[in-house]
Structure 1
Amino acid sequence: MAGKYRNGILSAEFGILQQLVTLIFGLIVPRLFIQTFGSEMNGLLSSLGNLYSYLALVEAGVGTVAIQALYGPVGRNDKKDINEIMTATANYYNKAGFLYLLGVIAIAVVYPLTVTTTIPRLTIVILVFLNGIGGVINFWVQGKYLVLLQAEGKKYLMSIVTMLIYIAQNIVKIVLLLNGFDVIAIHIGYFMISLCQMSFYFYYMRRNYKWLDLHSRPNKAALSQSNAVLVQQITWMICSNTDILVLTYVAQDLKAVSVYTVYLMVYSTIEKLFSTFFGSFHYVLGQKYNTDREGYMDMHRTYETVSMVGSFALYTIAFVLTTPFMKIYTAGITDVAYVDRYLPFLFAFMHLLSSSREASSRVINFAGHFRQMQWRAILESVINLVASIILVRMLGIHGVLLGTIIAYLYRTNDIIIYANRKVLKRSCWATYRLWLQNMAVFGIVFAVFHFIPLQPANFAQFFMIGIPVGVFICILYLIEAWLTDREAARQLVGTVKNNLFRSGKK
């Protein structure tokens, strides 16, 4: 087990490093891009990114189901079963690549005719292809391999590769931006470097997984619940991307999309830090659930406590520091107002609702209850879409966020109740008590910094103020966790001592 935890710790370390690199470039490149090409072009590319998020659904849930199906064979080191599941996965990914290509062509034809913008249509068509062709190659080359690497707990390798490619892509972007190249040339450079990532995975798997046979008898039964997962992925995609699509097509305001995406940049960075760290241990939890159900219960309690405390701490820090950051980051950009007093709270609360259901959602996946969750996921997306369309007409960008929050209020409660009663066979009170405790700390921080406004004049002052503020907030949540659930805290400390230091000596 120590070796398994070691992989998780490596994945967490390199994953967090990757997100910090992403944060650094995220502070530099988008601002340069907006200053060079304007908020309208930034909004257009964000809108395109959302469309490709939907198009990626041609995967049809196969990746998620394949990872869950591989936990057992990987834990038993059953290479025959692994090959059969991987063959079925590879066959589907090849078909998905062709469907994705057809989708790219369709977007290139339809999107320029439906979006309200002053950007030339030919430019939009070229950008559609440059942004989409990488997804096609991803399905054909690396997608199937990433499934196996995740099931084996090798997210650290994926993080290292992604980080190096991301650094190279952004250096190219900065150099081309500063030398006056147009947006098409920048995206060509971005695409060329992404090919290096796909080439690496192809040769890595050929060299290190010589036993992997993608021509075995395909185990299609292992992927039988992919349609149920697809429904949940579609509904999650709607909930995650409704806001930008509604702002694009209902409000018809690409500048509002740009404002939304700049705030989203901050909170998605936090979300990725959260998911990177805790996602690094999903394979341990998944294998434990499928081999030792009783032993899993203690792990779940620790995971739920630590993940909820961690997410509240991160999003509370983001909430407090967002407005001071925006005032500095968007200084000099005058084509639209980026500083808004309500957006930090709306974004923070939306993400708190989403992250609070992480542990409950995860155990539902481990149990394979994908079909049981279909209609619930559909209802969430319907609530989100309808509420956002209605509220955006009255409240603009605030309306789409409120629409998403309304949907999340329903779905988070639904997942918590289902996971505790149907899967874990216990009362929901433990999860709700934990949520209320952390929400109380959030309320205290909200009140404190409402009366103590932070007003740094530059990024140097921002970090000088932000670091102690972040430490203060983390200490508050750690005290709350220690006072209310010492057993989970002891288990966490024991896990770190028994696995981090022991494996580090090997």
Structure 2
Amino acid sequence: MNRTKKFLYNSMSTALYQAIVMIAGFITPRFMLVHYGSEINGLVSSINQFITYFNLVEAGLGSAAVYSLYKPLADNNHKRINAIVSAAKHFYYVSGAIFAILVVVLAAVYPSFAKVENMPYVIISLLVIALSSKSFLDFFSLAKYRVILTADQKTYVISLASTIHIILNTLVIVVLSINNVNVLILYIVAIIPLVVRTVILAFYVKKNYKYLSYNERPDNSALDKRWDALFLQIVQAVQVGAPTVIATVFTSLKTVSVYSIFNMVMNGINSLLNIFQNGLSASFGDLIARKEQKKLQKAYSEFEYAYYHLIFIIYTVAAVMLQFFVNIYTSKVTDVNYNQPLLAILFVVNGLLYNIKTPQGMLVISAGLYKETRWQSLTQALIAVILGILLAIPFGLYGIMIALSLSNLYRVIDLLFFIPKNITHMKVSESAVRIIRLLVVSVICFVPSLFIKVAVSNFIIWAVYAIIYTIFIALALTIESLLFDRECLFSLISRIKNTIKSK
């Protein structure tokens, strides 16, 4: 099976998974808001973010292990593969033990500064432990399977198992919340779908990788890049989690709930975008490992072209339609104001900047250039955290989102120069000019919405307007492609046609 076909299989399965994630991501917060209120919703979001930070004890282990497996998988070197996965398993167990200790500390401390009306200290502590169960199972079971499947470009297996987990998890939350079951019991029951996912992956790996052994003498040197990969994971965690943590400390849990609802939509968009990039890191890693420079340049240029056009379509539509969606979604929630149009625009700007650097960031992972980018990653994290805290005090969520946007802007500029110099050896202007062109077209398409007032009272009307805007913007960007990026457009179309014919 060639790389393009693997990409298609991974993309189709990921499309299903991300669609389910997006739907579930819209369903479960709604039930939490209606049946438990904004404060509980903010509490759960806040706890989950602290747990995300604790996951950093993985210290880049997954990325380093996947990178180290590219070459032995390409060479079919079973002994080397087993040595790497054995080392990964050992370090995952150690990391899991550290994670468990951190969770216990959080369970003891967190209730002291995040008090909730009518919820005892001990219940909040137990909720912390229940919500951490997913990560705990990841460290001690799922992670060792995920490493080999990701490196072997078989993320479709992970996606299918995770799809089953999300469906079962959503059913648990919906059914139990409707019956007003205590929120702690709800999340304890939600552990069951996690076990189902792990069993499925364990069965697949044992059946299809009969040579795989986690008892081989570990090759710890293969994971040397894990400490450098840690910097990259820190900045990713900061981008995802800093707003929630800063808002928890400097605002209120209800404000955290406002952030979580807007961010829910952004996560839904990122889920859609993950469909088109999932598994590609391994594909590009394979090209880099084989030193196929010309193929790398061509494949990367096509991916960047397609991905940039996609994100500018999606985020231009989001700039117009996001606040309408949030208003409809929170129509029955009155304990806090969710109608904040300027905040919606800031979320869109930050989301666009975050995704503009995705193609370049993916190549950093594929090439294993963690050490070479660690100071840039650290600078981005510091901008988000320090500026976020300084601006959160006078401006609340608005200040936090401005800080995040500026940190992403810095990283976009940095990677636009770093990747051509160190990996692709292409012209910097190619990506920069493409971004500027798309930005100009998107702004021109967005401006009319500021003067055209529409009434959007339900999701059906919202969907109609969203489709109309999508078609309008897609046509505008297609014209831009025909005028300025025709070669890349036709090359991408040709690749897709050849792949379909080869089936």
Give the TM-score, by structure 1 length. Answer: 0.95
- Map 1:340-351 → 2, pairs under 5 A: 340-351=340-351
Instruction: State the distance in 2 between where 1:182 and 1:351 align.
Output: 34
Instruction: State the distance in 2 between where 1:76 and 1:482 align.
Output: 42
- Map 1:4-403 → 2, pairs under 5 A: 4-118=3-117, 119-251=119-251, 253-291=252-290, 292-403=292-403
Classify 1:395/1:351 alpha carbon distance in 2 versus 1 (closer, same or farther; 3 Å): same
Match of 1:457 in 2: 457
Match of 1:424 in 2: 424
Instruction: State the distance in 2 between where 1:501 and 1:302 align.
Output: 19
Instruction: State the distance in 1 between where 2:275 and 2:87 align.
Output: 27
Q: Which amino acid aligns with 1:408?
A: N
Structure 1 residue 116: Cα displacement: 4.2
Instruction: State the distance in 1 between where 2:138 and 2:13 align.
Output: 22
Instruction: State the distance in 2 between where 1:312 and 1:218 align.
Output: 45
Instruction: State the distance in 2 between where 1:151 and 1:296 align.
Output: 18
Q: Spell out, residue by residue over 1:254-298, the C-alpha distance to the aligned partner (whole angstroms, 9 max, x if none).
A: 111101010001011111211232123222221112211232111
* Greater shift in the superposed pair: 276-285 or 307-316: 276-285
Structure 1 residue 478: Cα displacement: 2.7
* Greater shift in the superposed pair: 263-272 or 171-180: 171-180
SS at match of 2:190: helix
Structure 1 residue 71: Cα displacement: 1.6
Instruction: State the distance in 1 between where 2:379 and 2:54 align.
Output: 21
Instruction: State the distance in 1 between where 2:242 and 2:279 align.
Output: 28
Judge conservation of contact 2:153–2:282 (CA < 8 Å) in 1.
Answer: yes
Q: Which amino acid aligns with 2:326?
A: M
Structure 1 residue 125: Cα displacement: 0.9
Instruction: State the distance in 1 between where 2:244 and 2:65 align.
Output: 30
Q: Spell out, residue by residue over 1:398-453, the C-alpha distance to the aligned partner (whole angstroms, 9 max, x if none).
A: 11000111111212111111112233334311111011011112211220211223
Structure 1 residue 495: Cα displacement: 1.6
Q: Which amino acid aligns with 1:266?
A: V
Q: Which amino acid aligns with 2:69?
A: L
Q: Which amino acid aligns with 1:64?
A: S
Q: Spell out, residue by residue over 1:118-140, the C-alpha distance to the aligned partner (whole angstroms, 9 max, x if none).
A: 33212211111111123222211
Judge conservation of contact 2:111–2:121 (CA < 8 Å) in 1.
Answer: yes
Q: Which amino acid aligns with 2:25?
A: G
Structure 1 residue 465: Cα displacement: 2.2
Is 1:412 matched with 2:382? no
When the two chains are superposed, the root-mean-square deviation of aligned CA atoms in Å is 1.6
Judge conservation of contact 2:420–2:427 (CA < 8 Å) in 1.
Answer: yes
Classify 1:280/1:483 alpha carbon distance in 2 versus 1 (closer, same or farther; 3 Å): farther
Structure 1 residue 37: Cα displacement: 0.8
Instruction: State the distance in 2 between where 1:464 and 1:105 align.
Output: 48
Judge conservation of contact 2:266–2:347 (CA < 8 Å) in 1.
Answer: yes
Instruction: State the distance in 2 between where 1:143 and 1:167 align.
Output: 21
Instruction: State the distance in 1 between where 2:411 and 2:239 align.
Output: 11
Q: Which amino acid aligns with 1:399?
A: G
SS at match of 1:211: coil
SS at match of 1:44: helix
Structure 1 residue 7: Cα displacement: 2.0
Residue ranges of structure 2 left out of the alignment (5+ in a row):
none
* Greater shift in the superposed pair: 213-222 or 124-133: 213-222
SS at match of 1:296: helix
How many pairs are equivalent? 501
SS at match of 2:363: helix
Instruction: State the distance in 1 between where 2:57 and 2:307 align.
Output: 31
| Consecutive aligned runs of 4 or more in structure 1 exceeding 3 Å deviation | none
Match of 2:497 in 1: 497
Structure 1 residue 483: Cα displacement: 2.4
